[in-house]
Structure 1
Amino acid sequence: MRYIGLLVLLISFAADALAQGGGVLRGRVFDAETHQPIPNAQVGVANNRIGTSTNEDGRFALNIPATYAQEKLTVALIGYRPYSQALPPLPGPELRIELRLAPASLSEVQVTASVVGIVREAVARIPQNYPVRPTRLTGFYRESDHDEVGQARYLVEGLLAVFKVTYQRRTDAGDVQIQQSRKMDLRPNKELVHIDWAGGPFIPHMGDFVHVRSQFIDPSHFRDYDYRLAPGSSYAGRPVYVITFAPKPGNQRADFEGRMYIDQDTYTFLGAEWRYTPAGLRHSPNAADSRALRVSYQPYAGRWHLKSVWWQTKFRHPVWGDINYFGEFLTTAIDTAQAPPPTYMERAQYEDVFLRNTVGYDSAFWRGQTTLLPPEAPQKSLLDQRRQQLADSLFRPKPATDSTAAVKKEGWLGQLFDRFHFWSAVGTWPLAVPTASLAVAYAPAGYGFRMQATNEVAAQSLTVLYRIGYQVDITRKLAVRMATQRLYRQFGDDGWDGWEAGLSYQHNLNPRRRPIYARAGLGYTRQTVGRSLGTFENPDDGLRVVGKHLGADKLSVQIQSVTSAVQPTVGLGLELRHLIELTADLGYLLPLSTRSQLQVSEESRFSLFRSTAAIPLPAADVSLRVNDQPTTTVPWQQQHWLLSIGVMFRMR
C-alpha cells in the first residue's frame, strides 16, 4: 500500500483531457487465440510520434493531443500481425485489442547450407540495406526495476537523440544526448544505497544487433550455431525467412539463442529476439541470471533504421534479493541530414546518464508522453488535476548551482558519493643519491642483540614515486586531499612509507567544451627514505629499544631518513570522461625537518602484533660509517622539485 500514492503520481502524467483538448486513450492487448494479455507490445499513434508499450497485464495509456484525433492507432509485436485502427472518440472506454499470430507457411527443417547462406547474404547486404551516412534518431526511453514482490524501485524516462555512424562500420558505441528526462526513486530507504541509473540509454547502440554484428550474425561464429528455418512467413506485413539459432550441442562459445526475421526480397534483417545462453551469461561482464532482448527496424528514405529495442535482465542479488530490470527504446523521428553530433558537454556518458542531466524537468512535455498504468484500485484517479500538479512538483528539480546539472537530493550518503574521488599518480621524488658504501653497527647496552652490516648505495638520478589517495569536495572548487605514497627502485623495500594531506583547488578554464582545469594545492607531507640492512637473529627476548619491547626471534634493521615538508603544487587536469580526469602536477618541497634514524622491526611474529622502534641518530650504541668515514647522517639528500602524472576517478 505504501507505493500506491507514488504510483498514482507516476501514472498521472497522462494529461487532463479537458485541459489539453484531447483525451486519454486506454486499452488492453490480448492474444486472439489464447485470450491471454500480451505484455511489451508496441503501441503508437501518428507513425509513432507518440507511443508506449503494454505492461504485464497488456494495458497501455496514451495522452492524445487534439491535433492527432484523426490519426491511426497501431499495435505491433514480433510474431504477430500488425494491428491498426482509427482513433476512437476520446475520452472513451478501454479498448480491447486482439493480435493474431503471423501465418505459418514454412515447415521447420534441419540445418542446411542454404539456411546459413540466407544469413550470409543478409550480412553481405548490410551496406545496401542500412545507412551509409551518419544519422540521428530521436526516441523515447524508459527503464525501471522491480523487486521480488513486484514493487518498483525506480523509474527513469527520457527523450533521447541517438547519433549513429555508418552501418559499414561495426560498432556498439555512439553518442547519446538526453533532451528530456525524469526519474523517480520509489524505495522507502533512499539514504542507504544510491541508484546510478546508468547505462540504459546506450541500449540503442548496444542492442542494435545489425550495427554490432552480434555473434549470431558474425560469420566467424557461424560454426558455433545451429540455424533452422522456423514456421512463419510474415513480419510487419512483409514476407520473411524466420530463422532460429541456438548453440550446437556441447558448444560453449555460442552466447545467444533466439530467432531473426530476414526479408525475402531484400535480405534485410527486419528484427530479432534472443536471450543469453548460460555460456553467454558467464561471458558477460555484468552478473545476471537471465538477459533477453528484442530489436526491430523500420524503413525510411530507402534504408532501414533502428525502430525499437526492448531488454530485460533478472538476477538474484546477494543482499537485495530478486531484481528485475526492464528497459525499452522506441524511435519517433529519423534525421538523415547529417546533423552535427553533440558537443562533449552535451552528450551523455555511460557512468552518469540520468544522474547529471543538464536539462530541467519540463512538465508540459511529459503531459503529452507515455505513462505507466496504475493498479486497478487507483485507475479512477487518472485525470485528477491535483495529483498531476503534485507529480509535477515531485519531479521538478531544484535550480542547479553550476553548469553541471540539477541533481536531486538523495540523503547524506548520496551527497557523500557526489563529493568523493579516488586518485592515483606516478611521479619522481626529489632525491640526490650519490654512490656510497654504508657500514652500520648496533649493540644496545645490557642486551645480547648485536648487528653489523654493510650496504652499497648506487648513484641514482631518478626516484620513482607512486601515490594513491582520496579527495572529498568541500565546495565546487575546493577539496580536502589525503594520500599514501611509496618509493621504488633501491628505496622501495618498506611498503607504503609516506603520506600527504592538504587542500586542493581547481578552476575550469574551458566551461563550454571538454573541461580543462587549472589546479593548485597546499599540503603537508612526510616521507621515509630507507635502505634495508637485512634480518638478524635476536637471542634476547627481553630486548627493549627506545622503550619498545622487541622480543621476536628475528629483527630487521633499516637505515633511513624522515623528511617533513610543506608542499605547494600547481598543475592541470583534463577530463577524459565525465568521471575520469587526467592530472599533471608540479610541486615544490619546503622541508621543515629531516632526520636520520636506525629502524628496528620485529619479523617473526604475526604481522598485527609486530613492533617497530626508530633510534634517532646520533646514538651512543649506533655506529654509522659512509665511505669509511664516521657520520650521523645518511648519504642521500632531499631536493625540492617533484613532478607527478595521475588519474582521478569520481564516484559518480
Structure 2
Amino acid sequence: MSQAPAVLRGQVVDAETHQPIPNAQVGVADNRLGTSTNDDGRFVLAIPPAYQQARLEVALLGYRKHSQALPPLPGPELRIELRISPAALGEVQVTASVVGIVREAVARIPRNYPVRPTQLTGFYRESDNEPDGRPRYLVEGLLTVFKPGYQQRGDDGEIRIQQSRKVDLRPAGQLVRIDWAGGPFITQYGDFVHRRAQFIDLKHLRDYDYRLAPGSSYAGRPVFVVVFGPRAGNRRADFAGQMYIDQDTYAFLGAEWHYTAAGLGRSPNRADSRSLRVAYQPYAGRWHLKTVWWQTRARLPIGPPLNYFGEFLTTAIDTAQAARPDYVERAQYHDVFLRNAVAYDSAFWQGTTTLLPPESLRKALLDQQRQQRADSLFRPTTPSAAAGTAPGPAEPTQQPDNPLGRFFSRFRYGASVGAWPLAVARAELAVAYAPAGYRFGAQTTALITDQALTGWSRVEYQYELTRELTVTLATQYVFRQFSGRGWAAGLSYQHNLRPRHRPLYGRVGLAYTCQTVGRQLGTFTNPDDGLRVAGTNLGADRLSLRLQTQADALQPTLGLGLELSHKFELVADASYLLPLRTRTQLEIAEESGFFLTRSSATVDLPAADVSLRVNGQPGSTLPWRQQHWLLSVGLLYRLR
C-alpha cells in the first residue's frame, strides 16, 4: 500500500474575483502527469511515489503560470489562485504547458474522432491558374470519401468520383500539357488529424516551438490557439502555422499551415509555396472532416509559374459500416481529374449540390464571378429554352479533338529483368585475326567458366491497338560473364480475369527476336588508316575484338499482369524460344574517336583470316549454347 499513488485534489480560482477557473492546465514534473480543471475549477490527479517530490504547475492563457512544490499527500483540497498576466493582450510563452495541450489532444483522438469506418459525400473544385489569375481549366466534382477509423493512421482510405463537370480553357493543340494529378486526394492528405501530421506527431514535437496566441474562440467554441513553427536552427520541421484545440474536449477543430523551405525541399512534388487550411465539424458525438483548402504555387520546367487551387466541402456524413468501393470504382492518385471518364449529368448535379444552401456554397468555393462564368460554359442556352419551354439536361462542354493526345494516350512502356537461357561449359579460347593485305593483327586468349544463369534486362514499348491487343517493340541486353544486345517485335494480348476487382490479366504474345551473346577478347592498336572489314571502314586507332553468337527465334509467351494502380502493372512472363537461325561471328569494333561515329563489322565463322581454337583444338563452335525457356518479371507504365 505504501507504493500506491496518492490523490491530489484541488481547485483553481481567480485571485481577484475568487471565481473558479475552468480548463486550466494542471501538470506535475514538467507535464509528465497532467489534467485540466472542470467547470468548477476543480481537478483530481493521482501522483505516483516517484513524482511526489516534484513541482506542480498550473497555467492558462491570460494568467501567470503558478508553480509550487507538491504538498504532503494525501491531504486536504489544495486551493490555487491565478493572477492576471500583464502579457494577456499579447502572446504568452508557456511552452511546456502548450506541449501538454498538444499531447492531450493527440491522446484523445480515439475519443473525439470516429473509430469505425465512415463515408463523406462532398463537393470538390480545383483550378490551375496563370499568374494573372486566368484559369487554365476548372473542374468540379462530387466525391465519396471512405475513411477508416482515426486510430488507423497508416490507412488513408479510398476516393470515388461520382459525378463531375469540367472545362479546359487551354489553347487547342498545345503540345505540352502539365496536368495536376491526385487533386481529389486532398481529402486524405489534408486530414492532418487522421494522418498525424508532423506538427502533431509525438515523435516530432521536439522539432517545433509551440506557444499560445491571442484568440479564444473558433467556430463559436472556446479554443486554445496554438502557434507552431520550427525550433531555432532546426531543419527537420516541415511546417509552420496555427491550430485550434477545443478547451472542453481537446479536439482539434482545425488548422492552417504552410510548408517551410526545408519542407518544400523534402516534398516529392517541388513547389515554390504550399499552404493548407482544414476544419472539422461535429456529428453523432464525433468530429468529422468538414473542409480542406489547398493552394500551391509551382515554377514548372516549361511555361510561367502556375497557381493550383483545390477545395473540398463535406455535404453529407454516413456513419454506417460502409464497405470500401471496388477497385475499379476507386480513384487513383496518378489519375488526372480533368480527364476522368465520368459523364456530365446536369440533372443529377443540380439534385446533389442543393444539399448545401447557396450562401454556404458560394462562401466555401470560388468567387461568384468565376462561378457564373463556369455556369455559362457548362449550361449553354438551347433553342427550347429560348422558346420558353423547359430546357433539357445541359451537355458537357466539348473540347477540340487532339489527335496527338489520343495517339500518346495509347502508349505504355516498361522494364523487366530475368534469366536468359544460356548453357555455358568451361573452356579456353585462343583467337588470332589477321586480315589479308593489312598490317593489323591480333592474338588473344580467354577463359570461359561454367555458368548456370545469365542475367537479362529488357526495355519495352507498347502501343495499344485496342484495350487488349498491343503492338510491342523491345530492346534486350544480357550481362554477367557475357554481354549482348538484341531486339524483339510482336503482338501481345491480355484479358482481365477479375473485372470487378483489382485487375489480374492473363497475357499471351508472339514475337520475333534477334539476340547476340558474346565475350569480349580485348582492345588492340590499329596501324591501318584504311582497314576495311566486310565492306566497313575501321580507321580508328584502337579496335576491339569480340566472339559472339547471333540467334534469330520466334518467342511465344504466357504470363500474368497485376495492376498496382491505373498507371502501373506488375508483369511476370515465361517464354519459349524456337530457334530459326544461329550464327557464330567475330565482331571488330572501333574503340577510339567520337562515339557517335564509331563503326563495327562482323566476320562469320569459319573464315580464312580467323583462327579459333577451343581447348587447344581447331573449331568454329563456341562453348555456350542457347536453351529454350526464358523467364522475366517487370513493370509497365501507362502514360495516361
In 2, Cα distance between equivalents of 1:224 and 1:487: 49
Q: Deviations over 1:574-596 (max 9, x none)?
A: 21222111212222222221111
- Change beyond 3 A, Cα 1:289–1:571: same
1:374 aligns with 2:369: yes
Which of 519, 533, 541 in structure 2 is aligned with 1:553? 541
Paired with 2:405 and 2:440, the residues of 1 have a C-alpha distance of 55
Residue 40 (structure 2) aligns with: none
| Structure 2 residue ranges without an equivalent (≥5) | 1-86, 354-360, 386-390
**Structure 1 range deviating more: 220-229 or 131-140:** 220-229
Instruction: Report if the CA contact (8 A) 2:344-2:396 is conserved.
Output: no
* Match status 1:117 vs 2:94: no
Separation in structure 2 between the aligned mates of residue 439 and residue 379 of structure 1, nearest angstrom: 78
Mapped partners of 1:118, 1:453: distance in 2: 78
Q: Which position in structure 2 is the counterpart of 1:447?
A: 438
1:290 equivalent in alignment to 2:281: no
How do residues 154-303 of structure 1 correspond to structure 2 at under 5 angstroms?
154-171=137-154, 173-194=156-177, 196-303=179-286
1:173 alignment partner, SS class = coil
Q: Is 1:386 matched up with 2:386?
A: no
In the alignment, which residue of structure 1 is the partner of 2:60? none
Tell whether 2:411 aligns with 1:411: no
Question: Which of 109, 124, 132 is 1:126 aligned to?
Answer: 109
CA–CA separation in structure 1 for the residues paired with 2:264 and 2:638: 29
Tell me which of the two structures has the higher relative contact order, counting C-alpha pairs closer than 8 angstroms and 6 or more residues apart.
1
What's the offset of the Cα at 1:127? 1.3
Match of 2:606 among 618, 633, 644: 618
Verify the 8 A CA contact 1:183 1:354 in the aligned structure 2.
no
Q: TM-score, normalised by structure 1?
A: 0.78
Deviations 1:491-528 (A, max 9, x none): 12x5xx11111111112222222222221211111100
After superposition, the C-alpha distances for 1:178-226 in whole angstroms (9 at most, x for unaligned) are: 1112222111235423454420111111100111111111222222222
Q: Deviations over 1:332-360 (max 9, x none)?
A: 11111111110111111101253664542
| Correspondence 1:303-452 to 2 at 5 A | 303-352=286-335, 354=337, 357=340, 359-368=342-351, 369=353, 373-374=368-369, 385-386=381-382, 392-395=394-397, 411-452=402-443
**2:586 equivalent to 1:604:** no
Counterparts in 2 of 1:168 and 1:393: CA distance versus 1, 3 Å: same
Query: Cα–Cα, structure 1 residues 409 and 524, in superposed 2: closer, same or farther, change >3 Å?
Result: farther
Asked if the contact 1:437–1:626 (Cα under 8 Å) also holds between the matched residues in 2, the reply is: yes
SS in 2 for 1:491: coil
Higher deviation after alignment, 220-229 or 526-535: 220-229
CA distance in 2, matches of 1:229, 1:583: 54
1:591 aligned partner: 579
Q: Aligned to 1:201, what secondary structure does the other structure show?
A: helix
Q: Secondary structure at the match of 1:317?
A: coil
The structural deviation recorded for 1:606 is 2.0
CA drift at 1:165: 1.3
User: SS of the residue aligned with 1:114?
Assistant: helix
Shift of 1:379: 11
Code of the aligned partner of 1:329? F
- In the TM superposition, what whole-angstrom CA distance separates every residue of 1:552-576 from its partner, at most 9, and x where no partner exists? 2221100111111121222222212
1:275–1:292 Cα contact (<8 Å) kept: yes
Q: Is the 8 A contact 1:196 1:352 kept in 2?
A: no
Distance 1:323 1:196, change over 3 A: closer
Q: Can you list the C-alpha shifts for 1:118-163, whole angstroms capped at 9, x where unaligned?
A: 1111111111111111111111111111112221111111111111
Q: Distance in 2 between matches of 1:158 and 1:115?
A: 39
**AA of the residue aligned to 2:218:** Y
Alpha carbons 1:229, 1:243 under 8 Å: kept = yes
Distance in 1 of aligned mates of 2:583 and 2:108:
75
Partner residue in 1 for 2:80: none
1:4 matched residue in structure 2 = none
SS in 1 for 2:143: strand
2:316 is paired with a residue whose SS is: strand
Counting matched residue pairs gives 535
How large is the RMSD of aligned CA atoms in angstroms?
2.5
CA contact (8 A) 1:191 1:413 kept: no
AA of the residue aligned to 2:514: R
Are 1:106 and 1:230, in contact at CA under 8 Å, matched by a contact in 2?
A: no
Are 1:566 and 2:554 counterparts? yes
User: Alpha carbons of 1:169 and 1:379: their partners in 2 closer, same or farther (altered >3 Å)?
Assistant: closer
Residue 313 to residue 210, structure 1, CA distance change in 2 (3 Å): same
Q: CA deviation at 1:390?
A: 10
Shift of 1:374: 3.2
Aligned residue among 107, 111, 125 for 2:90: 107
* One-letter amino acid matched to 1:177: R
Q: Are positions 1:648 and 2:636 aligned together?
A: yes
Query: Partner of 1:78 in structure 2?
Result: none
Task: Evaluate the alpha carbon distance shift between residue 650 and residue 410 of structure 1 in structure 2; reply closer, same or farther with a 3 A threshold.
Answer: farther
How do 1:80-99 and structure 2 match up within 5 A? none
CA contact (8 A) 1:106 1:233 kept: no
> What secondary structure is seen at the aligned counterpart in 2 of 1:169?
coil
Q: Hey, what's the Cα distance between the residues in 2 that align with 1:431 and 1:325?
A: 54
Aligned AA (1:586): A
User: Secondary structure of the equivalent of 2:151?
Assistant: coil
- Classify 1:380/1:445 alpha carbon distance in 2 versus 1 (closer, same or farther; 3 Å): closer
Q: 1:111 to 1:608 in 2, by over 3 A?
A: farther
Deviation at 1:394, TM superposition (A): 2.8
Please name the residue that 1:463 is paired with.
454
Distance across 2 between alignment mates of 1:169 and 1:515: 26
Q: Structure 1 residue 508 and structure 2 residue 496: aligned?
A: yes
Alpha-carbon distance between aligned partners in 2 of 1:444 and 1:183, rounded to the nearest angstrom: 70
Q: Which amino acid aligns with 1:354?
A: F
Structure-2 residue corresponding to 1:94: none
Conservation of the 8 A alpha-carbon contact between 2:577 and 2:629: yes
**Is structure 2 residue 485 aligned with structure 1 residue 487?**
no
Whole-angstrom CA distance in 1 between matches of 2:463 and 2:477:
22
> Distance between the aligned counterparts of 2:253 and 2:520, measured in 1?
70
Q: Secondary structure at the match of 1:127?
A: helix
1:88 aligned residue: none
For the 8 Å contact 1:191–1:414, the answer to whether it is kept is no
> How far does residue 421 in structure 1 lie from its aligned partner after superposition?
0.3
Equivalent-residue separation in structure 2 for 1:182 and 1:338 (angstroms):
30
Give the AA of the match of 1:257: A
How much has 1:253 moved relative to structure 2?
1.5
Which structure's CA Rg is the greater one? 2
Instruction: Look up the SS of the partner of 1:523 in the other structure.
Output: strand
| 1:551 positional shift | 2.0
Paired amino acid for 2:285: G
Cα offsets for 1:417-460 (capped at 9, x unmatched): 32010111112222222222211111112211111111111222
Q: Secondary structure at the match of 1:563?
A: strand
Helix, strand or coil for the counterpart of 1:518? strand
